Each structure stands twice: as C-alpha cells, then as structure tokens.
Amino acid sequence: MKKAPIITISLVIVLALIALGTYLAGHRQQPTTTPSTMPNMSQPSSSQTPSQSQGQNQNTQQTTSNEVSIQNFAFSPASLTVKKGTTVKWTNHDDIAHTVIESDNKAGPGSPLLAKDQTYSFTYNEVGTFAYKCSIHPSMTGTITVTE
C-alpha cells in the first residue's frame, strides 16, 4: 500500500512539469524576422530602380513612405526618416494588441491599444530624432528622424 502515495506524487510532479512546459511555450516571445524576409506592406515595391534601393540599411529606410508596419513583434522599418510636418501611420498586423508611445520624453506618439489591423497616426512638427516603443512589449522599439 506504500506504492500508492509514491505513484500519486510522481503523477502530480509529471502533470506539474507538463503544465509548466505548456505555460512557457505559450508565453515565449515570438521570434522576429529580418525586414528582408518579413512580408511588409510598407516596404518599397520590387519595381524600384537599383538607385532607389542602393545604400539603404535594411533597418533604416529613408523614403517618401510614411508607414510603419507592426508585425512579428517588431516595427518595420525600425528607423524611418521623414520631412518635418509628415504624418507617420503605424498599422498593427499582429494578432496581439500593441501600442506606439514615445520613449525619450520628447513630443511623440501616444496611441491607445491597437488591435489587429488598427492604425494610429502622429504628425511630426519638430526636427530631431524621436524614439518610441510598445508599452506592452518594451523590447519593440523604433525611431523616427525628422529633417527640414
């Protein structure tokens, strides 16, 4: 009869380990992909001429586009350069809600929670570099550089 408590304790330990593994697997941060492999509606089209795409860093984009995609727990492009007075629009393509908030105590974005396919826009009226992040996932960061 002494085997019953040992079997019960062993069963409880096994079930606890399974539950822990399931919990950790469900809360593991999804890996991010590089902008070159991530589908992105704001990336320049493949019909660009070589001179339009040469010299651009994959994580920094100077373009006439003013859109940032939120996908795979990342802002893409992570850095964007725009002219003063430009309105930048973020679109959340993740199934998880995100925010876009300033992170350097400068005048910057302050979105509400953005559900899948929701957008948020902010107009940059001052020259400088402005950092932002997702308040829910602080490892998600980006910068907007504003020029004259």
Q: Which two tokens stand for residue 90?
A: 């973020």
Question: H-helix or E-strand containing 60?
Answer: strand 60-62
pTM above the 0.85 mark? no
Helix (H) or strand (E) holding 121: strand 119-124
User: Alpha-carbon dihedral of residues 8, 10, 14, 15, nearest 10 degrees?
Assistant: 20
Which token pair is 65?
């586009």
Instruction: Specify whether the CB–CB gap between 38 and 31 falls below 8 A.
Output: no
Q: What confidence score (pLDDT) does residue 9 get?
A: 77
Q: What are phi and psi of 53, to 5 degrees?
A: -105, -15
Per-residue pLDDT of the chain (148 residues; tens, 9 = 90+): 566 777 777 766 766 666 555 555 554 443 333 333 333 333 333 333 333 333 333 344 444 579 999 999 999 999 999 999 999 999 999 999 999 999 998 889 999 999 999 999 999 999 999 999 999 999 999 999 999 9
The one-letter amino acid at 142: G
Instruction: Give the helix/strand (H/E) hosting 69.
Output: strand 67-71
Sign of CA dihedral 90, 56, 72, 140: negative
Domain 60-147, second-level architecture:
Sandwich (2.60)
